[in-house]
Structure 1
């Protein structure tokens, strides 16, 4: 394997007889390792990739300048457009949270929602640290991928996939529930499936999120919620009896591990807080498209989202001031519509003095709120489709998921991902009968797992990637409190609805099984090849299996190294062996002096790696900077990837404070060692 261009030459590491380097300077220890390696390759010699080469490449100035010109900033999203996309997610959950939390916490529901807002404040610094250190899309998957092993990152990604599935399903079911208020003939279950199908087709035809449309939806929704708060406040000011009655009603009983437990202050607080996390789901959205935001906007979006969470406890208090708590629980799927209907009827009769005849103000307000809820919840469904497409596409490119998911139609949409998501979501709707409470519990579990993964990722960044520059460092106490809060809430959710855990694990297991097959596919294919070879050694199936194994293993990994350090090179080789399915490692060193001692040492150590790890062919690539471009940059990496036909996400770097360029400027490379 070599570059597609010209002006390069290669020398086989170890010489013609694989015993000497190109400079004939291989040390005696390397000679011994090479002889020992060659003597052990008799059994699986057909699988041995061979020793690497030393490629010497002069980087041309012209293509590099062209790439630098093309890399000029594209149109990025500002503060309010970014906030609108995220806030639509978090504000859509406000619509159905009050009723669900009141069912478990009773009159303590507003307090529980306020406590969750405080926990969210803890996570603000956690998210800011992670994104300032690694400003790339992908959320917790990207953080863990750069801080620990690929398998751990893939586990977090699987939980995120489930979170996207459940957020789409809950949003669609809630949208249909509000539409059902206006049009009772709409079937809740089949309507939800049809809404999911509608947005699947819409996304497959190339329609995606529009920041301007998101701003419009956000403005309309904030206006609607503000109007609901103002009108309900007037009602409660004149009619406080309902609120007082709800306060005196006590705390609802809870079902714990299949048995009924008498409601107390503590049961209401614990189970209410664990349920209330559903009201802030969507907080992680901004981390999924940070690359599309103007620099410095990400922390502002988190602050703005923290600000809009004021609607959660406020609307919950007002709901308890307008409706009896039993009514709040009964109408939990569309509680705001019923709140404004009662408020509107009261305003029409008591303040306006209009009795009967014509349209009722309550019905008009209920229709307005229901249509607004349907619009913003439908927007959340579209966000879920866009988000899951981006995440699964990233995982497929990282070879965590099958490559057929990357197939696109003529509109450029990944239709296999889109309709696969639709099938998963629809099956969940049909299995749960469209029950928003049950679906919400599954969603809460997934969301809490995502939050835990993000916090754990920051802990690992502080422990293993401390040299990565970042704008903020989260205090250990903040990390501990955040992990304790979400961890406790997850345990309480499982104890509260243990039967929900079965469905959670079922869907998570399906995604994990697919990822596991991808991680073990080479071993499985080799097992198939062994069985086929015994029965029919010259069959087409045997040939196909061997070709498929070779195709998987021939995709190289690239490690960009600044200096000759055998310890770091060995760690890179071990990382590739333990995390990637490949038999080729390209060690790339960019320099202005192609005859330096560093290159001689790198060549010797690349030869040693070939001998130490016979199933991994380590080649050295020396890139000579063109005049005027003596800086390691993202443009150089992009040129190398194009020239050698290497996926960008298979490029790795070390975490070193001596590299003057920021990780964000290298464009998606992975940090694998320190």
Structure 2
């Protein structure tokens, strides 16, 4: 109908407009016209009576009792399968009252989680302290090679950069005290894909920590005694022994790590005292000679370039700090800043004083030639007895670094298993609480990593420095995303954005410097990271991969002719149905359709499931949002491949009741998603154990 015809029709007195159209009376026209009797049958239905009729177009086919397959005009992409394989059933509405047993179990889970936060500031510091303070044994020789006599300046400036990272790590840990960080940070503030990349870098960093620590320990031992077998065999034995030690559990491992760290700190204190006495006796003659010789050796390079190269390599003296947030979920509340402080200051002192004493007491040629430089310093300062002592300490504390890598990897594996990126077998634990499968797989990965490098400590160390820097770059990235995507999330500290960008500048400068020193490090690091990402992709998208395999099978008629090959298709279909059967929960407090849609879209893009449950807690009937049921039905229709259920749970929204619901529905809290709580929310978001997926 044209606009002209509409105008003619509206002006025709014989064809008055429908009575339900709101028309203001014209000037001079009696208002009685507007109050003429109206045929109410011509009025449109009210929203109260039509809210489902308007939006639920095809849902007259929905069975009243729920269930049934969603119908669609889209044909199946599989030649020999019906739409039952592609699409899910209609969702159902359930009103749920939690049983007393479920509530008791939920309370028990909350109490158990609190009991796990048992590590004090010293035991917590010891878990990563051996890796951090033991790094002096392999950082010093590497820095001297590139920075020569300017090594003290390089090491001092490198250790100072932790003053940028400490407040960033404190803000992240206070907002999201989850284990497996920074993977868990990225999972709660961004997409699962970015978190997956972070997990790959983390795993490679933990493996590098363990391998470099074990190989350096074996090198120190081989420098003092004649071994009947190659150095790499000793390194592999150290990896195996400390993997077995980790089977005793986290608490016992922390106590052992504390003992090892105490021995190391006493040893370094004795070495520093002996070196001070020896320096006072010998004077500055050797220091002046080393200064002159070092400058002549490096005269072709600029001073600034040597200091910069030493700074880029000197960050190895801070390796281990990235491991601390990995098990922050086991820390007592409020001690995380103390742990960082207790490890940062000794790291500065150990690195700077060690290199100063070396330049003052050890000839420059010896520094450039040997790896066991601290044992040489000990012998010069006090004699053979101190050299033997520091070699024993080096072997012991570096073995503690292996412990740090194993424990960090176990925490990461547990988080990945709870998020269904690894098989559930990784969650099984011994009576000691140790995850045997995680430990065994990590040991195997360490062996593969070490063997693939040709058992070369130099190659692993080069890759280690670059991987560590990339991992440290994830912390400012995580806090930036936290500020932007989860700005309402309560936290104890807020870092200025300027500090975040300054940290980015420092870390990318160090990355560029390491690449410029040795471009081959990029190849090694990229190869390992890509390999790990491919494996994680296979575990994350396993349903998609099986569906692709079935599509290829379905396109091959020859494979459908024998009973054996037909079983292949049946097994693939059963595997897809079984994997998609695991439901996930959306904890909702609103009926806004746009917010519900984006949450459901997140589940569709990040989780392989055909069952989604919208869960709303209410205390009174009027507490249920008025349009929640209507919009749930819209959502159920919008995602034909997912069954969307609405579960209304009577009771207050508390961590204990969410844990009780987890028992009732048999859905782990890590597969429950929620919005970001605000500052007035009475509970911490992490108390629920749920993933935060929206602002």
TM-score normalised by structure 2 residue count = 0.85
Which residue of 2 is the match for residue 542 of structure 1? Answer: 569
Structure 2 vs 1, CA of residues 162 and 125 (structure 1 numbering), >3 Å: closer, same or farther? same
| RMSD (CA atoms) | 2.4
Alignment partner of 1:38 out of 67, 71, 80: 71
The superposition leaves residues 12-68 of structure 1 with CA deviations (integer Å, 9 ceiling, x where unpaired) of xxxxxxxxxxx9864344223758973425536212111211111012345424532
Between stretches 567-576 and 245-254, larger displacement belongs to 245-254
Residue 277 of structure 1 contacts residue 444 of structure 1 at CA under 8 Å; is this kept in 2? yes
Deviation at 1:664, TM superposition (A): 4.5
Distance 2:447 2:297 in 1: 32
Distance 1:549 1:253 in 2: 65
- Residue of structure 1 equivalent to 2:254: 211
**Contact map agreement 1:181 1:370 (CA 8 A) in 2:** no
Q: Whole-Å Cα distance in 2 between the matches of residues 656 and 664 of structure 1?
A: 7
3-state SS, counterpart of residue 550 of structure 1: helix
Q: Which has the larger radius of gyration?
A: 2
- 8 A contact 2:428–2:435 mirrored in 1: yes
Query: Aligned ranges for residues 593-608 of structure 1 at < 5 Å?
Result: 593-594=620-621, 596-598=623-625, 600-608=626-634
Give me the whole-angstrom Cα distance separating, in 1, the residues matched to 2:163 and 2:250.
Answer: 34
Deviation at 1:396, TM superposition (A): 2.4
**Is the CA contact 1:172–1:377 (under 8 Å) kept in the aligned structure 2?**
yes
Residue in 2 that maps onto 1:563: 590
Q: Cα–Cα, structure 1 residues 435 and 485, in superposed 2: closer, same or farther, change >3 Å?
A: same
The alpha-carbon distance between structure 1 residues 404 and 505, as it changes in their structure 2 partners (threshold 3 A), is: farther
| Displacement of 1:398 | 1.1
State the partner residue of 1:247: 291
The residue aligned with 2:189 is 147
Aligned to 2:202: 160
Give matches, 1:369-518, under 5 Å. Answer: 369-406=390-427, 413-518=434-539
Residue-by-residue CA offset, 1:422-458 (whole Å, 9 max, x unaligned): 2332233334444433322211111111110111010
The 8 Å contact of residues 170 and 493 in structure 2, kept in 1 or not, is answered as yes
Q: Deviations over 1:562-595 (max 9, x none)?
A: 2222222111111111111112211100001245
Q: 2:312 aligns with which of 274, 278, 284?
A: 274
Determine the structure 1 residue equivalent to 2:89: 50
Hey, what does 1:237 align to over in structure 2? Answer: 280
**What's the CA shift string for 1:348-367, capped at 9, x where partnerless?**
xxxxxxxxxxxxxx221111
Counterpart CA distance in 1 for 2:108 and 2:538 is 41
Partner in structure 1 of residue 103 of structure 2: 64
Q: Residues 410 and 435 of structure 2 are in contact (CA less than 8 Å); yes or no, is this contact kept in structure 1?
A: yes
Q: Pick one of 598, 616, 620 that aligns with 1:589.
A: 616
1:279 Cα deviation after fit: 0.3
Could you tell me whether the CA contact under 8 Å between 2:110 and 2:655 is conserved in 1? no
Whether the 8 Å contact between 1:557 and 1:651 is mirrored in structure 2 is yes
Question: Judging changes above 3 Å, is the alpha-carbon distance between structure 1 residues 326 and 443 closer, same or farther for their aligned structure 2 residues?
Answer: same
In the comparison of the two structures, how many residue pairs are matched?
Answer: 622
Which sections of structure 1, spanning at least 5 residues, go unmatched?
1-22, 255-260, 345-361
CA displacement, residues 155-210 of structure 1 (integer Å, 9 cap, x when unaligned): 00100000011000000011111222332225311111122122234445768753
TM-aligned CA distance change 1:528 to 1:500, over 3 Å: same
Q: Which runs of 5+ in 2 are unaligned?
A: 1-47, 62-69, 77-81
1:192 maps to what in 2? 235
Task: From the superposition, tell whether residues 149 and 29 of structure 1 become closer, same or farther in structure 2 (CA, over 3 Å).
Answer: farther
Q: Which residue of 1 aligns with 2:31?
A: none
Please state if 1:577 is matched with 2:577.
no
Residue 111 in 1 paired to residue 150 in 2?
no
Name which of 189, 194, 213 aligns with 1:171. 213
Q: Which deviates the most, 370-379 or 489-498?
A: 489-498
Q: Is the 8 A contact 1:102 1:325 kept in 2?
A: no
Partners in 2 of 1:396 and 1:110 — Cα distance? 44
26-35 vs 487-496, which deviates more?
A: 26-35
- Describe the shift of the 1:251–1:405 C-alpha distance in structure 2 as closer, same or farther (beyond 3 A): farther
CA distance in 2, matches of 1:466, 1:119: 26
User: Is this contact kept in 1: 2:179–2:415, CA < 8 A?
Assistant: no
Indicate conservation of the 8 Å contact 2:489/2:679, yes or no: no
